[in-house]
Amino acid sequence: MKIREVMTQRPVTCSPTDVCGQAATLMKQEDCGSIPVVEDGRLVGIVTDRDIVVRAVAAGKDPKTLRVAEIMSADPISVSPDDDVSEAAKVMAERQVRRLPVVEKGRLVGLLVTAQVARHENARETGETIKEISEPPSGRGSHARG
């Protein structure tokens, strides 16, 4: 299954010129820990709740005035909408991220979150299990002996 089939389209984003407090408010509203940072439709970074805590608050900077551009991670890992969901799951596991920006021709087109990957993987496993249950064991007919 391709990422475009399960991704969230038009995800919530912030701008590099937004202040960290705005990003934190968006995270609270969306119940998430990271938000893609977009400028003119192009993905330029990602800001996480940890970025806000460590790079702003713990560093003694004011999140009400500090710009997202000053604490975001530039050039975040991203995936294409035509990539396979199972490949994205591997990237998420390797990088230990819960959300992956989906980029096409440099533009943010969606967001893939772990819950979407989990639903896909569970559906695939369920389908495989049903297939295994439905197929008769090799070397035996379709009639089971009791």
Chain-centre distance of CA 97, in angstroms?
7
Amino acid at 130: I
Q: How far apart are CA 93 and CA 142, in angstroms?
A: 40
Amino acid at 114: T
pTM attached to this predicted model = 0.79
Model confidence band, residue 14 (pLDDT cutoffs 50, 70, 90) = very high
Q: How far apart are CA 124 and CA 119, in angstroms?
A: 9
Domain hosting residue 101, numbered range: 3-134
Q: Please check whether residue 103 lies inside any domain of the structure.
A: yes
Q: Please check whether residue 27 lies inside any domain of the structure.
A: yes
Chain-centre distance of CA 55, in angstroms?
22
Give the C-alpha distances (Å, rounded to integers) separating 11 from 1, 35, 79, 84, 99: 20, 9, 15, 20, 11
Q: Please check whether residue 146 lies inside any domain of the structure.
A: no
Q: Please check whether residue 139 lies inside any domain of the structure.
A: no
Q: Please check whether residue 117 lies inside any domain of the structure.
A: yes
- Render pLDDT for 45-104 as a digit per residue (tens, 0 to 9): 999 999 999 999 999 999 999 999 999 999 899 999 999 999 999 999 999 888 999 999
- Render pLDDT for 100-142 as a digit per residue (tens, 0 to 9): 999 999 899 999 998 888 887 766 554 443 344 345 555 444 4
Q: Please check whether residue 7 lies inside any domain of the structure.
A: yes
Q: Please check whether residue 144 lies inside any domain of the structure.
A: no
Supply the CATH number for residue 92's domain: 3.10.580.10
Q: Please check whether residue 77 lies inside any domain of the structure.
A: yes
Two structure tokens written together for 59: 């560093």
- Which residue has tokens 């049903």? 130
Among 51, 54, 62, which Cα is nearest to 21's?
62
- Domain count along the chain: 1
